[in-house]
Structure 1
Amino acid sequence: MASKKVTKYELVDSIYRESHCDRADILFVVDKFLEGIKSSLSCGSTIELRGFGTFEPRLRKGREKARNPKTGEIVSMAPHYVAAFRAGKDLKQALYSLEIKDE
């Protein structure tokens, strides 16, 4: 599926067109929302947004032999956390009904 990327500023502009609030205020709220998600995940908390999905920190196991894809060099990886997202029921249903386009 060849889809267009949507940037944070395009989202802010979309909200602006629908709400007619000040763009700077919308950008401030979006930035604070994303900061809140980042700080909660970095503290080990799970963020549940009903109808949308759940963000959670997941522990990735370390590996003795991993490969740097850029250089091909063998490196070791320590265990570390990554951000994981699980789609909620409403989001899953919205994506399920997407029309499949031939490329």
Structure 2
Amino acid sequence: MNKTQLIQTLAERTHLTRAQASRAVDVLFGDDGIIAEALSKGDKVQITGFGNFEVRERGPRTGRNPRTGATIKIGPSKTVAFRAGKAVKAKVAGGRRK
């Protein structure tokens, strides 16, 4: 499902206009959205029944330049991780999980 499909489905299920649904999706998931803003501050976003978004730090490591084969140092970085909640895992598993 892409963003356009998400907006369409949200509009249909909530009886919002597509413009209202689009604004709702942007407020939550956009570049300046609620989730991105919280994560940029280092906060964890917990949505009960759905899952958790959190920032994880990766330590420095060595890598290899694929073109030259030379070893390079890669500095520390941050990445966003998502852990699905029990309800989502159960839905994906087809109801086999409890």
TM-score (norm 1): 0.79
* Cα distance in 2 for residues equivalent to 1:11 and 1:20: 14
Q: How much is the aligned-residue C-alpha RMSD, in angstroms?
A: 1.7
Among 79, 82, 85, the residue aligned to 2:82:
85
Q: Does 1:94 align with 2:91?
A: yes
> What are the ranges of 5 or more consecutive residues in structure 2 without an aligned counterpart?
none
Give 1:1-103 correspondences, 5 Å limit: 6-34=1-29, 35-63=33-61, 65-68=62-65, 71=67, 74-97=71-94
CA-to-partner distance for each residue in 1:76-99, whole Å, 9 max, x for gaps? 21111100011111011111117x
Identity %: 34
Following TM superposition, the consecutive aligned residue runs of length 4 or more in structure 1 with deviations greater than 6 angstroms are none
> What are the ranges of 5 or more consecutive residues in structure 1 without an aligned counterpart?
1-5, 99-103
Give the length in aligned residue pairs: 91
Which structure exhibits the higher relative contact order, with contacts defined as CA atoms closer than 8 Å and separated by 6 or more residues? 1
The structure-2 alpha-carbon separation of the partners of 1:90 and 1:68, relative to structure 1 and needing over 3 Å to count, comes to farther
TM-score (norm 2): 0.82
